[in-house]
Structure 1
Amino acid sequence: MTGTDAAASFDPLRPRLARIAYRMLGSVADAEDVVQDAFLRWLDADRGQVREPEAFLRRVVTRLCLDQLKSARARRETYVGPWLPEPLVEEEEEEDVEDVTLPLMMALERLSPLERAAFLLHDVFGVPFEEVADTIGRDSAATRQLASRARTHVRAARPRYAMPKEKGLEIVAAFFAASRSGDMTAFRSLLADDVTTWSDGGGKVHAGLRPIVGVDDNMKLYTSLARFFAKEQSRIVRYGMINGLPGFVSVEPGGVLQTTALAIEDGRIVGIYVTRNPEKLGHLGAVH
């Protein structure tokens, strides 16, 4: 088989392999590197002996991700401020293929690499436990236990119900209007009492160094920010779904590109996820 043949068999699988890698790593660039590395290994493989190319490549990608996670966890221990996964802004025609929202991805960060792999492969991507066990080098019973522990840890982060996309985007638009105009009465009406804001600047741009928890502290934060917005308005690039949550891409005072995603329960905002680190937004350059 030629390189052209290898590409022809690999390319249809690339999007799904990229989704696995991204959900394992939380980084678009790292996921792309892993998938490209998997393609190079596919080129070198004895492909005629591979009965199930997708299973073979899924195993390669997962093992590469497990290797990456070891160094990624060390880097995140020294990360400046809250760490958020790189935002994925869904295209209008894109279908939701997995129920992996931003809060769930953050919960996955608290798992061991093997727990994360077992949970994602089996519970999210529907891979049989026998294949997962072979992929991560554990027996089937141990793999089931890893997935069970992971389920327990992430249960609270999984969506309790699906909100209609249109309703979520209505709340997002109201959030943007109230926060940028300084209408704090309208802004307060959108927030749950236990709302938390995470702001990821990675030490590259101004951002909070810790999560802001509770409605009172969030009101103080956004009242303070309203003074900056009064001097230089934010500009909306687009509204849309970001890592499974309604949100928006904007250009903020100082020309900072930013994504904001909102977790909403019972019609109130319980989580505000702001990504400002330019190193995590380079893949959004086309929408800037």
Structure 2
Amino acid sequence: MDTATVARFEASRNRLAALAYRLLGSAADAEDTVQDAFLRWQDADREQVAVPEAWLTKVVTNLALDRLRAAKTRHERAVGAWLPEPLLDGDPMLGPADTVEQRESVTLAVLVMMERLSPVERAVYVLREAFSYGHAEIAGILDITEAASQQHLHRARRRISLSRNSFEVDAESARRIVEEFVQAAASGRTERLVALLTEDASGVSDGAGLRTGGKLIRYGSPERVAGAVRAGFTPTPSKRRLAGGTPSIHAAVVNRCPALLFAVGGRVVGVTVLEVRDGKVSGVCGIADGRRLGRLDREWQGAEADSPIIEAW
């Protein structure tokens, strides 16, 4: 390919990666999907491609759906050990964030709820909510009718039921929320944490370093969430061994939500993401599996260092 043809693809790369990430919930799989699309672009009869952006969108969407339908992927997501790969604020793979719908479509909560959808429902939801495609365009991308696109969107919205919150998190507000959460967690008083949680608060952890049989650990009430957080924030020699040292705790924005980053030797070893609704924490998601933290760690190491909330936990 000539330079101009490569440049045309590269101009769409970030948007395509953001689309693939929302569809797959994995930055690594999204990168592979976009690279596969580049190979298709390389082999295509480009003189017959009237609108490259539309052509590339269709290719990436359908490549991502093929991954979702693959037997290996279905097995990995069925065993109960799947969580999305978290991304640090500023990562281009997070994509557009101009509307409430666009911001919510990339939160960990929505990415998890999208597992309830069929691959086609997921694609329609992402294309419509996150990228504002019309139903005629979506029908062309997925080779379905406009009526089918509308039906898929209706079912997807019904299954992804959220109490919408227009609250937009920036670095300053994230730090304020994280500081309050850390202070309550470190106090050793469960009631202080419960006061920060909504009545329907829930929690989930990948249990990295624990003997969980690969299963996620779930907490279904404010009291259980608070108890798990308080226990998790109690430092012990075994926890420090698992972390590889004594972590510092930093505030960050991850997938459009406030988050705590745990770092040892300048490397992120864990992240706790806080979903916020009506000024309270409605969800807590803990991820410490290094396989999910690679991209976030690279982005964090390349960002300007902030002052930790706790120097040594």
2:178 is the counterpart of 1:176? no
The equivalent residue for 1:227 is 234
What secondary structure, in the 3-state scheme, does the structure 2 residue paired with 1:197 have? strand
Aligned twin of 1:205: 209
Cα drift, residue 229 of structure 1: 5.5
Structure 1 residue 241 and structure 2 residue 257: aligned?
no
Q: Which amino acid aligns with 1:76?
A: R
What letter corresponds to residue 260 of structure 1 in structure 2?
Answer: T
Partner of 1:65: 64
List gaps (5 residues or longer) in structure 2. Answer: 241-245, 302-313
CA contact (8 A) 1:196 1:211 kept: yes
Indicate conservation of the 8 Å contact 1:168/1:264, yes or no: no
Matched, 1:13 2:12: yes
Kindly state the Cα deviation for residue 268 of structure 1 after the two structures are TM-superposed.
Answer: 1.5
Aligned CA distance change for structure 1 residues 70 and 164 (closer, same or farther; 3 Å) = closer
Corresponding position: 1:75 with 2:76: yes
Q: Which runs of 5+ in 1 are unaligned?
A: none
What residue in structure 1 maps to residue 139 of structure 2?
133
- Alpha-carbon offset, residue 197 of structure 1: 1.0
Which residue in 2 is equivalent to 1:110?
116
1 CA distance for matches of 2:261 and 2:167? 22
**Candidates 166, 178, 195, aligned match of 1:161:** 166
Partner residue in 1 for 2:33:
34
The one-letter amino acid paired with 2:196 is: L
SS in structure 1 of the partner of residue 286 of structure 2: strand
Q: Taking structure 2 as the reference length, what is the TM-score of the superposition?
A: 0.80
- 3-state SS in 1 of match to 2:85: coil
SS in 1 for 2:22: helix
Match of 2:222 among 191, 199, 215: 215
Residue pair 2:165, 2:278 contacting (<8 A) in 1 also: no
Distance 2:36 2:53 in 1: 15
**8 Å Cα contact 2:33/2:63 also seen in 1:** yes
Match of 1:149 among 145, 155, 172: 155
2:306 aligns to what? none
Say which SS state the counterpart of residue 6 (structure 2) adopts. Answer: helix
Q: Which deviates more from structure 2 when the two are superposed, residues 123-132 or residues 110-119?
A: 123-132
Q: Deviations over 1:40-86 (max 9, x none)?
A: 11111111221111000000000000100012223211243xx3210
Contact 1:3 1:43 in 2 (8 A): no
* 1:39-54 equivalent positions in 2, closer than 5 A: 39-54=38-53
Aligned-residue offset at 1:249: 1.7
TM superposition shift of 1:210: 3.0
Q: Which residue of 2 aligns with 1:25?
A: 24
Query: Once the two structures are superposed, what CA deviation does each residue of 1:98-130 show, in whole Å capped at 9, x if it has no partner?
Result: 222221111111100000111111222111212
- 1:194 counterpart = 2:200: yes
Distance change >3 Å, CA 191–CA 284, structure 1 → 2: same
Match of 2:86, as an amino acid?
P
Taking the aligned partners of 2:276 and 2:185, their CA distance within structure 1 comes to 16
- Residue aligned with 1:13, SS: helix
Identical aligned pairs, as a percentage? 35
Counterpart Cα distance in 1 of 2:231 and 2:252: 26
Using the TM superposition, name which of 130-139 and 215-224 deviates more. 215-224
SS of the residue corresponding to residue 155 of structure 1 reads coil
Counterparts in 2 of 1:224 and 1:155: CA distance versus 1, 3 Å: closer
Partner SS, residue 88 of structure 1: coil
AA at the equivalent of 1:242: V
1:227 match: secondary structure: coil
* Counterpart code for 2:110: L
